[in-house]
Amino acid sequence: MKINPVYEREIVTIILYTSVFFIILAVVLILFFYYSRKKILQKEFEKKDLEIQHQKEQLRAVIITQEEERKRIAQDLHDDISSKLNIVSLNSHLLKTPNLTAKETLEITGNIIELTAKALENTRRIAHDLLPPVFDKFGLHAGIEELCSEFNSSKAVQVDYQNNLEFDDADKEKDLHVFRILQELMNNSVRHGKASEITVSFDENEVGRYCRYTDNGVGFDIKDKKNHNGLGMKNIGSRVDFLNATLTVDSKIGKGISVLLNF
């Protein structure tokens, strides 16, 4: 059979064009996938970079807080304990002075008793600030109850605390992070929010255990960079990381603050 040469040329041209079309399509597709993959990778690198930056910032906050805590403890020890023991020591040496009258001896021993009592009370306070004994002995629930009553006793703020959870003694280390988070949130509510009401509640749902925290204070703009300069919220962030938990903070100016900690 003989094929018409004109017809044959047409077929070859069609095949040629189709092949070129598919080659161009393949090149376009390859280029498209190459560039979109490159873009995805670039985005992933940027995300990783941000994460590393965030972790670095949190680490820095932890270190600075530790140093500040050390400075504060050193200051407390120096001002509230050493200075008092110093005067106790002076008074004790005075007792060795010959020919002291009974009145003088009484005055000096009175001083010693008063100063040692103050030094003792200060030691208790410093230790309490480092690790509240109630928390240490009776756990998170009792620790928070005490924390709330300390805030309530100031009369400036009323804390409503509800708890439907059991805290296990084996999780003491983790619970201390939760305690410190609440301590910082309450300090911020009083210091910055000027709140008159605070609520703290612990409960459980199908997702897990959670703590809800609110205050009725002045609130703040979370996105405003000037609210990112403190250490308190950064420390809360690293405690949340330690706990493998999630924290959502919601606040608007004039609307107080609402925090949800899933842990």
Ligand X SMILES: Nc1ncnc2c1ncn2[C@@H]1O[C@H](COP(=O)(O)OP(=O)(O)OP(=O)(O)O)[C@@H](O)[C@H]1O
- Contact residues toward ligand X (CB under 6 A) are 188-189, 192-193, 215, 217-220, 227, 230-233, 257
- Contact flag: residue 249 with Mg ion (CB under 5 A): no
Q: Name residues contacting Mg ion, limited to 34-73 (CB under 5 A).
A: none
Q: Which single residue brings its beta carbon nearest to ligand X? A: 230
Question: Among residues 91 and 214, whose Cβ is nearest to ligand X?
Answer: 214
Per CB under 5 A, contacts with Mg ion among 136-195 are: 188
Minimum distance from residue 184 beta carbon to Mg ion (Å): 6
Residue with smaller CB distance to ligand X, 91 or 216: 216
Query: Does the footprint of Mg ion cover residue 232 (CB under 5 A)?
Result: yes
* Residue 179 C-beta: closest distance to Mg ion, Å: 15
Instruction: Output Rg (C-alpha) for the chain, integer angstroms.
Output: 34
Phi, psi of 199 (to 5 degrees): -125, 140
Closest among 208, 204, 139 to 167, alpha carbons compared:
139
Q: Which residues contact 120 (CB under 8 A, 6 or more apart)?
A: none
If we measure between CA atoms, which residue out of 215, 178, 210 comes closest to residue 198? 215
Helix%, strand%, coil% for the chain, nearest 5: 65, 15, 20
Q: Which of the choices ligand X, Mg ion, none does residue 261 contact, using the CB cut-off of 5 to 8 A by kind?
A: none
Q: What is the DSSP letter of 67?
A: H
- Residue numbers at the binding site for Mg ion (CB under 5 A): 188, 230, 232
